[in-house]
Structure 1
Amino acid sequence: MLQDAPLSDVKWLETEALPNNPKIHSTADGKFVFKPKYDVRNRQELYQLLKRHEFRGLGGIYLDDLAEAVADVERVVQSLGDHVIQVVTPHDKKVVLFYNDKSFDLGIKEEFKQLWRAVSVEGMHELKIEEYLRRNGITSMSADRKTFVS
């Protein structure tokens, strides 16, 4: 109970402000409890949440939203290593976390990487590049389609 607040303010908090706040949950005995956006408490639950988001096509999760639920979230994210990709958004500079699905990693030989880096296509239109590749018998890479279960 708030000791120094006027009774009208306390009543307003109890009846309107706190019950209507999406981040506050009221218990059966009338107490108010903070409710984070994600119900995650540890490293394993964070890993599963990121993986679920990836496979359902929901995108990334703001680090700030996870900081509400996980103590020392930066350390937990670091412990996940390369299972997590961190991206800083350009407009608000917030960190967004994504699950790093290793099944999409391609093993590319160093020889091809060097060839790729040696060719400059700056200033060339994409259609012109496609036409050149087609004339030289080079087609785009394809693979079996991957199905996602939601």
Structure 2
Amino acid sequence: MATCAEKPLGLVLLSILQYLQSELRPISLQELKDKLHVDVEADPELKENLKTNPRILIEPDGRLRWKSKYFLRNKEDLVAVIQRNPVGIDKKDLLDAYKGVEEDLESLLHSQPPQVLSIRNNFYKQEFLFPAEPKWFYPVSEDVRQLWYEIRVPDPVDVHRHLTSRGLKQVSRDNRQPERVVIRKRPKSYDNKTRKVGRRARLTNEHLEGTALDPNQIIENHQNSAFSM
């Protein structure tokens, strides 16, 4: 089996992080050595990376644990953090807090009365948790429950027949006013052929004035050169 020194540092860090996240409890350096065959004390670079890693929390006794978004240790801490967030808290941010947090959440959701309320957002596939107030829940007698269950929900056909008899008509798509269609003209594009020249430059030989060069001689020599056509 390969030792810590024979493995890349990134691979060793990944194995430690995965182990801490799966356990969700304080882990000693000796346990890392026994379970992962990683000797942290023998590798100063690895030890320094563990100290500065944002996903690792170092306990006062030197043990390591996974650092979740909310520092929770038990069910009481879980209830406290939910009560401090009346606008809701994302459930997935709590699932890596400590070992057994999912079981504690289920017990809070299904207690009588429930201490936590859950609302799901199927579009974003999220579930938010809210603190439940005891005053929201009142004991109801069995007679009231029975009356509630006996309430008949009207049939949609009967509802439509009743509304029609009252003179209410359903708005059809044909009666709706058509939406206005706005047609925008595309701006004209000008190419190089149709583009007008705004200013014409006057070409002269004024730059040769005061020199010993003869413009006519230069043109004549150019026509007789090897580069002339």
1:27 shift after superposition: 6.8
In structure 1, the partner of 2:107 is 79
Distance in 2 between residues matched to 1:105 and 1:31, nearest whole Å:
44
Distance in 2 between residues matched to 1:27 and 1:70, nearest whole Å:
14
Other structure's SS at 1:96 match: strand
- 1:50-78 deviation line (CA, Å, top 9, x unaligned): 11212xx4x2232x221211322221112
Match 1:94 to one of 102, 116, 126: 126
Percent sequence identity is: 23
1:40-59 to structure 2, matched below 5 A, reads 40-54=72-86, 57=87, 59=88
- 1:9-62 deviation line (CA, Å, top 9, x unaligned): 8859955x97363x23457899864211111122222111111212xx4x2232
> Which ranges in structure 2 are unaligned for 5 or more consecutive residues?
14-44, 160-229
1:1-150 to structure 2, matched below 5 A, reads 2-6=4-8, 14=48, 19=52, 21=54, 23-25=55-57, 33-54=65-86, 57=87, 59-62=88-91, 64-80=92-108, 81=111, 82-104=114-136
Distance in 1 between residues matched to 2:4 and 2:46, nearest whole Å:
12
> Which ranges in structure 1 are unaligned for 5 or more consecutive residues?
123-150
Distance in 2 between residues matched to 1:28 and 1:76, nearest whole Å:
26
The runs of at least 4 consecutive aligned structure 1 residues that moved more than 4 Å come to: 7-15, 26-33, 104-115
RMSD of the alignment, in Å? 4.5
Other structure's SS at 2:118 match: strand
On the 8 A contact 1:40/1:69 being kept in 2, the answer is yes
Q: Highest relative contact order (Cα 8 Å, sep 6+), 1 or 2?
A: 1
- 1:65-109 deviation line (CA, Å, top 9, x unaligned): 212113222211122221111222223323322111233457897
On the 8 A contact 1:61/1:98 being kept in 2, the answer is no
Q: Give me the TM-score of the superposition, normalised by structure 1.
A: 0.50
In structure 2, the partner of 1:146 is none
Q: Report how many residues are paired.
A: 117
